[in-house]
Amino acid sequence: MSSKNDLYRPAIHFSPAFGWLNDPNGLVYSEGQWHMFYQYYPMDTVWGPMHWGHAVSQNLVTWQHYPIALAPDELGNMFSGSAIVDKANTSGLFEKESEANLVAYYTASLPSSDTSLADYQTQCLAYSVDQGLNWIKYEQNPILNNPKIECFRDPKVFWFEQAKHWVMVITHGQSIGIYYSKNMVDWELSSDFGAEEGHHSNGPWECPDLFPLTAQNGVTKWIMVVGIGDGCYAPGSGTQYFIGDFDGKKFTNDGPADKVLWMDYGRDYYATQSWFNAPDNKRIAISWMSNWRYARQTETKTFRGIMTLPREFSLILNESGHYILRQSFYESVSYFLNETMPNDNVGVFRVKGKVMLEIGEEIEINLFEEDCPQFIFKRLDAKTISIINNRLYLGSDKVMEDEFPHNYTSNITNEKFENDLEIIVDKGAVELLFADGTFSMTQLYFPDKIENKIQITGSGQFLSIAEDSK
């Protein structure tokens, strides 16, 4: 793998050794190991019959590739899902109670021989008795038949302590179905969320997640995360979230039905999923770093598709009295960059600091001297942020020419004028957190050369903008 195309293989963002990668699946922490499964086609660098790839990490930065966990069978291809630790052996699939009891839920998607019909999607179960090295598909799959829904996929399962039952959230086309179970095998529909709320487009709501976060004032809220494949904030794919309450069977949105909260304002942040059983009750998540508008045309050939860096989610109360989501790069990422990053040229650059802005002022961030993305943050009464001239790679493919340039404007909701700013630039990837982590921007890039330079200029008042850089 020494071709020019490996110029864009990132140093600290996860990528497959070869082949196609998209959604993260089955994120679970067990006995000191972070397991990450992912949508994977090992035969080519374009989307094909989906498998579950598998990788394991001790620190969420360096990964060991494991054998394929799930491969297509008579029920269909292996679409997205989740994994849990069945410590109490609720399922009865294991010999005893153990932290090593792993159960995975996935969608089997059976391609239709009739091109006018959609795939037939059902929910299935698999389990592992050897820490995820090998997986046994449940002999009575599917555990949940299709209720005549065209897009019925991506089961996310978690334990709800108050009611002592398991919960599954799953795509119901343009809404999210909520199911519950006592034994992890027999599931009953309890409610449906979202048909009249949030952002809708032509594509289905995908890869749902639902989890609690507790703010510093002690208030706990539940976060419903939904991916939308097209027609989002920026053209193409995007991820929205809702903040509300959950009683074990029904999620209630706190905000107005037409209010949309975006998790990211870039173009490459999709299928966000969080780890089950993360230490210290932390909510750690990762996303597929691409966009369905051009995912099949990005300029790599030995692999295609990467993950974002892992981020920790928290809940904060803003100055308007509304709860919003805060993101920060997980502590192991910062440790790795500060303490163990190799000294050779691996194409990773980090800048972290604070910036003071006055209303009407702006900051311009250039990541490279030539052929570079350019971010302009404008603080106006309308609180807008503009990103201009972000034509990162002029590929020969027409889809890349039409879809990859990033020219759009976004609204920012934070009300602070003193802002934390952190940018991590890797080969092929830029991640930016601003305004104390309440504004996120995640984007691919394919420059002709990697200079490892970041220029920050503007008319605002700056405070030690490069406190910590590598």
Active-site annotation holder among 6, 23, 448, 468? 23
Q: Per-residue b/e over 309-336, b at no fewer than 16 CB within 10 Å?
A: bbbbbebbebeeeebbbbbbbbebbbeb
Closest CA to 167 of 181, 152, 185: 181
Do 299 and 5 meet the contact criterion of CB atoms below 8 Å apart?
A: yes
Q: How many CB atoms lie within 10 A of CB 424?
A: 23
DSSP string, 83-136: EEE-TT-TTS-SSS--TT-EEEEEEEEE--SSTTSPPEEEEEEEEESSTTSS-E
Strand order across the 51-57 sheet = 63-70, 51-57, 33-41, 19-30, 303-304
CA distance 422 to 469: 10
User: In whole angstroms, what separates CA 202 from the centre of its chain?
Assistant: 21
The residue type found at 281 is N
Strand order across the 461-469 sheet = 439-444, 429-434, 418-426, 349-356, 461-469
Do 323 and 316 meet the contact criterion of CB atoms below 8 Å apart?
A: yes
Task: Let me know if 264 is a catalytic residue.
Answer: no
Q: Is the peptide bond before 24 cis (omega within 30 degrees of 0)?
A: no
CA distance 20 to 57: 20
Q: Give the bridge partners for 34, in sequence order.
A: 29, 57
Closest CA to 408 of 230, 227, 198, 267: 267
User: Cβ contacts of residue 185 below 8 Å, gap of 6+?
Assistant: 91, 125, 138, 140, 143
Residues forming the active site: 23
